[in-house]
Chain A
Amino acid sequence: MDTIQLLISGIANGCIYGLIALGFVLIYKASESVNFAQGDMMILGAFLAIALINANQADLPFLLGLAIAGASLGLFAYLLDALLLRRVFGQPQLTMVVLTIALGFVLRFVIGAIWGHDPVGLETPIAGQRLSAGGLTIPVIDAVIIATTVVLVAVLWLFFARTRLGLAMQASSQNQMAAYYMGIPVKRVVSLVWAMSGVVAAIAGVLFAAKGAVEPSAGLVFGIKAFAAAVIGGLGSLPGALAGGLLIGIMEPFAARHLPSHVAQVSPYALMLLVLILRPSGLFAQVRQKKV
């Protein structure tokens, strides 16, 4: 029973890692670089939602607050790409890596300056509620996290597989030159991918803040762990990102229970190392050797 309990809690955590890893992969596919501010964008989303929803703050209705927080993060990420990152387009990948690391520092500082450094939680209508069935007790929030992730991933899948814009995004990530001459406005499409990853980050942040408490610096550790998840899955694969997130999420509570705490803490990175050694392009990447 304990094992199942741990498993469910691990899956719920893993979903949040998976969503952030999804953000990494979206950006990697669109910009061929890594957005190291992804975790901090998630925390920004969480704090925005808290500021909009909590009773001692703006006290908006829950869903309205969520919608505003998600839309704001999407707009923020869109403008970030359109106004700033597009200028370093064509520069070496490292340029964007450094830029997003710096952006992460700025975000952490700004979040701390506005909302302080104390941990806060998001007030939700389901706080503290539990589902009990057959000897299992599951926090409702865990069920909500899992359900939200499933729905979100299904919507994203439909979007990429079916819609004109989704196909345009796939095309742009494979060959920008060809995409241009198929009539796809590649720059705008890339900005829209950023907007999507912003919205996904906000959703992950809200789920995270509803489950526990957030503080401004949480994005750093969380982002790095989610990055490990994305690498484990293979940086270019959306299902891989989710699987990598789940793997790390499930591994953590078991490692914490059965291993000494200092070992448990490095377990996600140990797994990443192992994957990099055994299958360097990730578990889900279609491995191909370049022909010469």
Chain B
Amino acid sequence: MSLLEVADVSLSFGGIRAIDGVSFSVEPGEVFTIVGPNGAGKSSLFNLVSRFYQPADGSMHFDGHDLLACQPHEVIGLGIARTFQNIELFDHATVLDNLLIGRHSRRRTRWFEDVLFLPRVRREERAHRRQVEEVIDFLELAAYRDRMIQGLPYGVRKVVEIAQALVSQPRLLLLDEPAAGLSVEETENMAWWIEDMQKDLGLTIVMVEHDMGLVSQVSDRVLAIAEGRPLAEGTPAEIQAHPEVVRAWLGGVDKA
């Protein structure tokens, strides 16, 4: 069974149809990428899955759970974590604190236990910190561990955001333009990390990305959309050669 099943979803902003009948399903363990020209509705599709937007039609299921029955803050509890195109972190806190708050959805202790710092709290806290340190090692963030987010280079913040998503131990990771704004070298590192997360952590990844080099390198399957409608789905090579996709990207080539 597919891990994520999105069926025939639509979304309107006022009179504009941002998403118009898009369906796709993501299999466990694969990297599934959504591509499309600017304004095609890629991020909107993401925001639908993470419940930031309410679709006008259609259904979405994650591992048998009806996503439409979830509030935005409940999505992470199901095992879906996400990153943002423009990086959403707690800027006035350290990398470590950002990752610790990333464990919020896994904390089970009650407030009076927390205040008294009971043995159970200490045990849990140790487990949280161990998990956080594993992710810091995995993404090689040790050098930035105690630095404030505010002063960090853009590329590092991008990785911290992925780390923050990882500490919640998700099964599905949504990456919104992981390479946007990164240098060539940083983009190469990003590709390795995506491959590592898929192979070593067994994560399923859905990503929105412009950089076709990165897309081809890491994606198992690609869905191309334009103007809110699906154009084509297939392997990266198939998509790049698809005539509809070429037309949507380069615009009106056939008329020339």
Contacts and interface: CB of A to CB of B under 8 A. Distances in A.
A134 interface: no
Contacts of A174: 90-93
A171 B104 contact: yes
A184 B73 contact: yes
Interface string A160-176: 00111111100100110
Interface string A139-172: 0000000000000000000110011111110010
B111 A159 contact: yes
| Interface residues on chain B, size class | 20 to 34
B168 A159 contact: no
Contacts of B76: 181-183
Contacts of A181: 50, 72-73, 75-76, 81-82, 88
B74 A164 contact: no
Interface residues of A, number: 23
B107 interface: yes
A158 B115 CA distance: 6
A47 B254 CA distance: 79
A184 B90 CA distance: 14
B102 interface: yes
B39 to A, nearest CB: 21
B146 interface: no
Nearest to B125: A162
B111 A165 contact: yes
A27 B76 CA distance: 27
Interface in B132-152: 150
A163 B111 contact: yes
B231 interface: no
A164 B102 contact: no
Nearest to B102: A182
Contacts of B73: 180-181, 183-186
A56 B93 CA distance: 53
Contacts of B77: 183
Interface of B: 50, 52, 71-77, 81-82, 84, 88-93, 101-102, 104-105, 107, 109, 111, 114-115, 117, 150, 164, 168
Given A164-B104, A166-B114, A182-B101, 13 more contacts: A163-B114, A164-B109, A164-B111, A165-B111, A171-B101, A174-B93, A180-B52, A180-B73, A181-B50, A183-B104, A183-B168, A184-B104, A185-B71
